[in-house]
Amino acid sequence: MEEVTNAPGTISPATGETLEPVPYTDAALIPEIVTRAHQAQLAWGHMTLSNRAKALHEVVQVILSNYKEVIAIMSQETGRNETECLMSEVVGLKDYLSGAVSAAKKALADEPIKLSSLDYPGKKAVIEAVPRGVIAIIAPWNFPLSNFWKSLFPALLSGNAVVLKPSEYTPRTGEWLAKQCASVLPEGLVSIVQGDGGVGRALLNANISSVVFTGSVSTGKKVASFAAERLIPCSVELGGKDAAIVLADCDLERTVSGIVQWGMMNAGQNCAAIERVYVENAIADHFVSKLATVTSKIRVAPAQDCDIGPLQNATQLQIVKDHVADAVSKGAQILCGGEPTGEGFGFSPTIIDGCESGMKIVDEETFGPVIAVVRVDNADEAVKLSNESRYGLNGSVWTKDISKGQRLARKLEVGIALVNNHSLTGIMPEIPWTGTKETGTGVAGSRHSYDTFVRRRTLFTDVSKKPDPWWLPSSPELAEMGAALVKRNQGSLSALLRLAGLVNKRIAAVKKFSS
């Protein structure tokens, strides 16, 4: 293990105080970690889904019994207060697993194939879900515990082993999770490696069977390319630039409250945070004024009873500062916030009005407590501008006219389209969390995510005591039988009646040939 000082994860985001470094995993040790995972997977993969689910429920009980430990660790690593860590990453854990088990039952169930008894007498086929082996899960720092759930649970329910790779910015939360799993599950089934991109590359170069990656577009493309080279599956989620469309007939107070929630929660460090708001001119002045008033009330850590945390690291703080400065230089107006708090990596919750395409705050992922407001003439213009983004994760429409909202939401080029809410489905394990464009092709949650964790195998069984009539040898009767099959498919009743005799002749010929 390599001791790393002055590295990511060694500074408290809220206070700037120094944290004890977490040693990086020696890359030379990673192949052995993966080998042990394969060994542990063999027995686990042969267990029933029911027994695997029972073991995971025990893991969840251990986590909930010790939850105060992990929310303290998360608070230290992210700067969020413990209540926010509790509510966003722990409270829903038990229900999430229950939903994941329900999805697993659908995804992993055998699929019998109905075969024609006339064409395939005595034959049966079923499609089975087979675990892939060892799944690498590479997770980001914004939700250091719950980012693992959405892949860890289905991976284990499917019968796989898992190697976790937390972000180097939040290593301690991942370490804690791995220890809770190890206290219940077979040795080596859930392992962890710590470190930066070099450690991630070493993990990918080990004998893994599939990879789940959440992070930047540039790194995600490299991961996908590597997986293609290895011919292993990968699931990548690469961020977003989510838009909310606010129509003139919306419930103004609820809409403002919802947009503040999904724009500012976790200081906007959410791939599905609302970063762009397209509001119809008819209500724009009133809406923007109220949005700024509510946003200005938000308290940032380490303030007492804070509502949100700081940015997690200095790099992210600089990105937010740069985006805000770019918008102002191009004519946008800051209505509230717009600058660092002066403590740790805190940034004041910010509303910027008068934004337009060509500004970084509109075009690029900000990942901070900043909402860019773009005024539009009508809903069609809002949809058009929303779809110009290179990302496509969530998109929402806010209106009292539900039918109109649904019609517009279906026009958004996103993986999750919502009416009068945003980002909420990320905590629902039976709903697919997915996107399009540079958000990536990955799917988390629901039965639709399982191609990453299982391969499909066909089990074909022939219980017939007779040889098939098309087996060797070739003969005029075989050609005659083929012609009759073609005529049968064209609706010929006489050909259908002749087939039984031809089939019996062929079976007799095959038996004689092999005797």
Give this prediction's pTM: 0.94
Q: Nearest CA to 242 among 270, 276, 267, 278?
A: 276
Report residue 5's pLDDT band, with 50, 70 and 90 as the boundaries.
very low
Report residue 8's pLDDT band, with 50, 70 and 90 as the boundaries.
confident
Which two three-digit tokens encode residue 390?
């290179």
Question: Angle at Cα 254 formed by Cα 249 and Cα 260, nearest 5°?
Answer: 115
Q: Say what the pLDDT of residue 188 is.
A: 98
| Integer Rg of the chain from CA | 28
- pLDDT for 440-491, tens place per residue? 999 999 999 999 999 999 999 999 999 999 999 999 999 999 999 999 999 9
- What are the CA-CA distances from residue 404 to residues 223, 249, 283 (Å)? 40, 11, 18
- pLDDT for 377-402, tens place per residue? 999 999 999 999 999 999 999 999 99
Could you name the CATH architecture of 242-429?
3-Layer(aba) Sandwich (3.40)
Residues 361-365 have a mean pLDDT of: 98
> DSSP secondary-structure letter at 507?
H
- pLDDT for 272-318, tens place per residue? 999 999 999 999 999 999 999 999 999 999 988 899 999 999 999 99
Q: Is the pLDDT of residue 4 over 60?
A: no
CA distance 153 to 145: 12
Number of Cβ within a 10 Å radius of residue 362? 26
CA distance 247 to 278: 8
Provide the terminal-to-terminal Cα distance of the chain, rounded to the nearest Å: 68
CATH number at 27-238+448-457? 3.40.605.10
Q: Say what the pLDDT of residue 455 is.
A: 98
Biggest alpha carbon–alpha carbon distance for the chain? 92
List Cβ neighbours of 401 (8 Å cut-off, separation of 6 or more). 247, 249
CA distance 309 to 81: 7
- Class of residue 395 by CB neighbours under 10 A (exposed 0-12, middle 13-18, buried 19+): buried
Q: Nearest CA to 186 among 100, 1, 58, 96?
A: 58
Mean pLDDT of the chain, nearest integer: 96
- From 237, 280, 365, 438, active-site residue: 237
Residues 414-439 have a mean pLDDT of: 97
- What are the CA-CA distances from residue 491 to residues 7, 117, 485, 497 (Å)? 75, 18, 10, 12
Catalytic residue list contains 356: no
Report residue 351's pLDDT band, with 50, 70 and 90 as the boundaries.
very high
- pLDDT for 33-64, tens place per residue? 999 999 999 999 999 999 999 999 999 999 99
- From 85, 250, 271, 355, active-site residue: 271
Q: Say what the pLDDT of residue 303 is.
A: 85
Catalytic residue list contains 271: yes
The structural domains of the chain, with segments of one domain joined by +, span: 27-238+448-457, 242-429, 467-514
